[in-house]
Amino acid sequence: MKKSAVLLFVVFGLLLMLSSVLSQAAYRLDKTLLSYTYMSREIEAVARELDDAVLRETSARDTIDYINKAFGLDIPDKLDPYLYRAAYNAFTADWYARTGKRMLFNTLHVISGKESGLSLPISIQEYKLALLEIARSELTAYEYVEIDREVSSLPFTVELADTFIDGKNDRVLRLMRRIEPALLSVTYIIPGVFLILCFVPLRIGGGFTAAGSGIFAGGAAVLVFASGLRSFAAERAGSAVMESIPPFFVWAGGGIDRIVAKLISGMLPLAIVVTAAGFCIAAAGLALVKFRGDKRFYFRRSH
């Protein structure tokens, strides 16, 4: 085999291996994070974290602190216990599940190009009603009027997109709109190009061998990653997500770690199929080299 053929074999095999790894990851992301059906179930599971009374109380306090800061509410500190009780009653696991799925729906519409602007609404109507009910039954008329004045000034929803990505909205929207084209390219187009390139300078046997070797290596790499590094990757990815979301979602950290771990472990079946396919293609290529005499891996024979 010529040195140039060996070099091409190695280069195309490595390129196909890398594209195979990225293709598997992109395919998995498309079927999970970008799937409303899949993610809505995961959001409901994460929201069940609030069945724990301690986490729910912490979440209620963090949510109220965020709302007070966002709107600059002027409510006396002595009334804080009533605010927190109202938040505890209003911001239940079901409320978080509904809110999360509404945000997911709107986000996916932007990614798919169906919406031009990102909206992440948080309904606080339940909280307003719960707070007024507590104030009406337990506080003096003066305190009730004081709370009613502040609560009545609140809108029905808080637009998280305005506070969370303030000043970066255009850049975030541009990035979101590029997600689907990028995943399509990484999943199908780029691996397809490298697959074709394996056959352009190499003979048919060498092309199959290089392509199969690259695909096999890519599948094996994902197998190692998904089985051996799942916990580490899930923890790191979960930490990165938690650093980028508002503080009143900190209770969701354990659930996000589980989502990431499930996403990674779900790559195992696909990786097994890719590895097996790569092995079969490479074996077929070696058989062609042996029985067709394509030992130089070139279409042209040297004279």
Check: CB of residue 283 under 8 Å from CB of residue 205.
no
pLDDT at residue 291, rounded to an integer: 77
Identity of the highest mean pLDDT range in 27-31, 153-157, 255-259: 27-31
Span 15-44, pLDDT tens digits: 899 999 999 999 999 999 899 999 999 999
Interacting residues of 296 by C-beta distance below 8 A, sequence separation 6+? 1, 2, 5, 203, 302
Cα 57 from chain centroid?
27
Alpha-carbon gap, residue 287 to 38, rounded angstroms = 42
Alpha-carbon gap, residue 127 to 17, rounded angstroms = 53
DSSP annotation of 302: P
Residue 296: pLDDT band by 50, 70, 90 thresholds? Answer: very low
| pTM of the complete model | 0.78
Per-domain residue ranges of the chain: 3-33+178-289, 36-176
* 150 has pLDDT over 60: yes
Span 211-256, pLDDT tens digits: 899 999 999 999 988 887 777 777 777 777 777 676 677 777 777 8
Check: CB of residue 104 under 8 Å from CB of residue 46.
no
Span 169-225, pLDDT tens digits: 677 778 888 898 999 999 999 999 888 888 877 678 888 888 899 999 999 999 988
Strand positions, DSSP E, 96-250:
121-123, 157-159
DSSP annotation of 51: G
> CB-based burial of residue 73 (10 Å sphere; 0-12 exposed, 13-18 middle, 19+ buried)?
middle
Task: State residue 166 phi and psi, 5-degree precision.
Answer: -55, 130
Closest CA to 59 of 238, 251, 255, 257: 251
* 166 has pLDDT over 60: no
Residue 277: pLDDT band by 50, 70, 90 thresholds? Answer: very high
Residue 115: pLDDT band by 50, 70, 90 thresholds? Answer: confident
Residue corresponding to tokens 């809505």? 40
